[in-house]
Structure 1
């Protein structure tokens, strides 16, 4: 998984009844875009300073998003 600053990190819910989460990658620790990432979560307005995405996560690159996306 590779990300750039500004990409959305989408974590799908694997537990019934729980919503997925969307975060924005606000900083990279590696120049090649590999994890971990500093992520600001849109649902809580807080940051996770060292996030390692699991198998339920995917990156939506900022240049691929529609203009209507948050």
Structure 2
């Protein structure tokens, strides 16, 4: 797994009915972009150090759309 600051970390729910959790990566500990990551969760604003497992993936930051 590779990430940059500003990417989104998405954790899929592992049980039926579990929601996905999305956070923004605010810091990386290794220069090669590998975990762990410092993440600020979008649902509650809390921050923490995350060692993502197989249910996680990284997405690039969303860009704001611009109307013509």
Q: Structure 2 length as normaliser, TM-score?
A: 0.87
> Which of structure 1's runs of 4+ aligned residues deviate more than 2 A?
65-68
Count, aligned residues: 65
Uncovered stretches (5+) of structure 1, i.e. residues with no partner: none
Uncovered stretches (5+) of structure 2, i.e. residues with no partner: none
- Aligned residue for 2:10, secondary structure, equals strand
Q: Structure 1 length as normaliser, TM-score?
A: 0.85
1:1-70 pair list within 5 angstroms: 1-48=1-48, 50-62=49-61, 65-67=62-64
